[in-house]
């Protein structure tokens, strides 16, 4: 027998069936894993056995949906991948930096990342994550222990890219490995979809548009339809990849995804990871209508602004994608894995590239981080506070250094809030973080393990880099050492 919990808060972001609304002096009630009521306190009629939490100085929002994450490696991007970019690769880190990092990363490094990341995500407001990572069984168990809602399955591809001269990107193909990987993903989903009270859900991820064959894509799309799961691939993510697809097929990445049936039939459950280089991007400048194709297909773009911004690249522009009816969602992709930061970068860069202060608003990026992500997952019970939705809630302090003065919840969240303003996280009706503490989690110990993992990785970089460079050559230090 579960009883109702009601949070009586100064501010609540409720969902009225169409869009988010600001309720001043509101109540959110939930029973078990499900929200049962939301509205103004004046209309609230509690059950006799209801536990009511008084929170006058607090804001309650829906949990954030992080639609693009690599939590098994991203923490080890720190101190390594920033402030570098080669013009030969269009500033992308995909062809030198990431292969060296992942080649030098050991299994304990991956475990340390997965353990750390689940905590980092919860502590910065992610309640649902789309995780494209190795060690899915371990990842799933860790997420379930913390109480994080996770979409995952083994990822797969028919080939890999590499460079042997620092100028050209080449591809190594193993089509059978791609098919075997898809089979493993399907088996994983059939075994685990819905596990841990529904927190664990399946997804399919043919990794990159330029490393999967058309046959693998078509089979993966059929499987996504049969299993009813979302499918995501990285596409339009680099200048190199754009031109590689033009070279192979005479088609832009987006046109090719339409040709092979990836875009269209599944609407928003076909997720384009990044989609930052359509034909119209100023670094590409090709004839075409990629953004319109994405919008007409009703597809989702998982927009991870920081991973590009740090290389001087921005989406052109967030508002233009919205205006074309692309279902926009937000992801973190790299470190830091904070949806608060991701929303802020999306809004600010959207204004910069769109040259318009009145678009890429706090409301637009918050909606992408909640309702946009939910649509991509085919879930009308996530990303909103409404009766029948899952009880995935964030409780923020409205009176701290960063939040006061407080009038407009979304402006303060997107432009001013810090992670420490997030005081409580509820996922599936369970309080997973309370006053910045997650039961059973020693954050300092996670940091110690990450440090040790980083030190082992940095030592091994020459073995994994194509040019056998030491870490300091591949990723120069910001400051010379004292005495050098």
For Zn ion, the closer CB: 130 or 256: 130
Q: In terms of Cα–Cα distance, which of 131, 151, 374 is closest to 269?
A: 374
Count of alpha carbons within 13 angstroms of residue 342, beta-carbon side: 32
Minimal distance in Å, beta carbon 281 to Zn ion? 18
- Closest approach, Cβ 81 to Zn ion, in A, equals 13
* Closest distance to Zn ion from the beta carbon of 139 (Å): 15
- DSSP 3-state assignment of 463? helix
Considering the complex, what minimum distance in angstroms separates the CB of residue 70 from Zn ion? 6
Q: How far is the CB of 27 from Zn ion (least distance, A)?
A: 39
Let me know: does 112 contact 446? Beta carbons within 8 Å: yes
User: Is the Cα torsion angle 188, 192, 194, 197 positive or negative in sign?
Assistant: negative
- Looking at residue 481, what DSSP letter applies? P
Nearer to Zn ion, 333 or 364 (CB): 333
Q: Which is nearer to Zn ion, 69 or 427 (CB)?
A: 69
Kindly tell me which of 133 and 333 has the beta carbon lying closer to Zn ion: 333
- Exposed, middle or buried, 172 (CB in 10 Å: 0-12/13-18/19+)? exposed
Integer Cα distance of 228 and 225 in angstroms = 5
Q: Which CB sits closer to Zn ion, 120 or 421?
A: 120
| Residue 241: CB minimum distance to Zn ion, A | 12
- Alpha-carbon span 353 to 360, nearest angstrom: 10
Nearer to Zn ion, 202 or 273 (CB): 273
Least Å distance between CB 47 and Zn ion?
Answer: 45
Minimum distance of Zn ion from residue 273's CB (angstroms):
5
DSSP 369: I
CB of 413 to Zn ion, least distance (A): 25
Least distance between Zn ion and beta carbon 23 (Å): 36
Residues in the site for Zn ion, rule: CB under 5 A? 333
Closest distance between Zn ion and the C-beta of residue 66, in Å?
12
The answer to whether 129 and 68 have CB atoms below 8 angstroms apart is no
3-state secondary structure 394-457: EEEECCCCCCCCCCCHHHHHHHCCCHHHEEEEEECCEEEEECCECCCCCHHHHHHHHHHHHHHH
- Tell me the pairing of strands 51-62 and 4-15: parallel
Q: Residue-wise over 90-123: b if at least 16 C-beta within 10 A, else e?
A: bbbbbbbbbbbbbebbeeebbbbbbbbbbbbbbb
Q: 16 φ, ψ to 5°?
A: -95, 15
Nearest to 34 by CA among 371, 382, 394, 422: 382
Stated as kind and residue range, the H or E segment containing 159 is: strand 159-162
**Nearer Cβ to Zn ion (163/237):** 237
Element (H, E) at 173: strand 170-173
| Least CB distance to Zn ion at residue 102 (A) | 12
Q: Nearest-CB residue to Zn ion? A: 333
Among residues 62 and 305, whose Cβ is nearest to Zn ion? 305
CA dist., res. 296 & res. 36, Å (int): 35
Q: Measured between alpha carbons, how far is 366 from 15 in angstroms, rounded to an integer?
A: 13
Comparing CB distances to Zn ion, the nearer of 35 and 94 is 94
Q: What is the DSSP string of 318-354?
A: HHHHHHTT-EEEE--BSSS--HHHHHHHHHHHHHHHH
* Beta carbon nearer to Zn ion, 33 or 333: 333
Closer residue to Zn ion in complex, CB, 61/131: 131
71 vs 426, which CB is nearer to Zn ion? 71
Residue 73 or 278 with smaller CB distance to Zn ion: 73
Collapsed DSSP state (helix, strand, coil) of residue 109: helix
Write the DSSP string, 17-65: SSSEEEEEEEEEEEETTEEEEEEEGGG----TT-EEEEEEEEEEEEPEE
C-beta of 73: minimal distance to Zn ion in Å? 10
């Amino acid at each position: 027998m579960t009883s109702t919990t009601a949070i009586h808060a100064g501010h609540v972001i409720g969902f009225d069936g169409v869009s988010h609304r600001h309720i001043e002096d509101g109540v959110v009630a939930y029973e078990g894993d499900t929200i049962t009521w939301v509205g103004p306190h004046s209309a609230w009629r509690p059950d006799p056995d209801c536990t009511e939490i008084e929170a006058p100085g607090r804001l309650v929002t829906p949990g954030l949906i992080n639609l693009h994450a690599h939590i098994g490696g991203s923490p080890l991007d720190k101190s390594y991948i920033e402030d570098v970019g080669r013009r030969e690769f269009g500033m992308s880190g995909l062809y030198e930096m990431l292969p060296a990092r992942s080649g030098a990363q050991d299994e304990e490094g991956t475990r340390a990342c997965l353990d750390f990341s689940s905590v980092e995500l919860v502590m910065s407001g992610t309640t649902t994550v789309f995780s494209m990572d190795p060690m899915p069984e371990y990842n799933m168990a860790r997420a379930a222990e913390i109480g994080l809602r996770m979409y995952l399955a083994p990822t797969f591809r028919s080939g890999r890219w590499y460079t042997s001269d620092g100028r050209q990107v080449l591809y190594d193909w193993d089509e059978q490995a791609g098919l075997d990987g898809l089979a493993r993903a399907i088996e994983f989903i059939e075994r685990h979809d819905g596990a841990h009270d529904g927190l664990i859900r399946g997804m399919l991820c043919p990794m990159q548009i330029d490393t999967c064959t058309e046959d693998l894509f078509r089979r993966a799309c059929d499987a996504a339809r049969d299993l009813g799961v979302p499918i995501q691939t990285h596409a339009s993510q680099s200048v190199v990849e754009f031109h590689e697809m033009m070279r192979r097929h005479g088609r832009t990445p987006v046109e090719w995804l339409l040709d092979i049936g990836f875009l269209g039939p599944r609407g928003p459950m076909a997720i384009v990871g990044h989609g930052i280089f359509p034909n119209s991007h100023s670094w590409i400048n090709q004839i075409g209508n990629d953004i319109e194709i994405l919008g007409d297909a009703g597809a989702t773009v998982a927009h991870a602004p920081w991973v590009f911004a740090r290389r001087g690249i921005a989406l052109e522009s967030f508002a233009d994608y919205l205006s074309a009816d692309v279902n926009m969602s937000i992801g973190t992709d790299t470190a830091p894995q904070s949806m608060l930061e991701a929303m802020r970068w999306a809004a600010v860069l959207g204004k910069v590239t769109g040259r318009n202060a009145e678009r890429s608003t706090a409301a637009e990026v918050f909606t992408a981080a909640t309702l946009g992500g939910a649509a991509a997952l085919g879930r009308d019970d996530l990303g909103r506070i409404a009766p029948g939705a899952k009880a995935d809630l964030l409780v923020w302090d409205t009176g701290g250094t960063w939040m006061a003065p407080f009038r407009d919840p979304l402006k303060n969240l997107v432009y001013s809030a810090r992670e420490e303003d997030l005081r409580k996280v509820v996922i599936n009706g369970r309080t997973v973080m309370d006053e910045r503490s997650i039961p059973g989690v020693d954050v300092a110990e996670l940091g110690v393990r990450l440090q040790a993992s980083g030190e082992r990785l940095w030592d091994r970089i020459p073995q994994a880099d194509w040019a056998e460079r030491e870490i300091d050559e591949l990723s120069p230090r910001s400051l010379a050492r004292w005495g050098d």
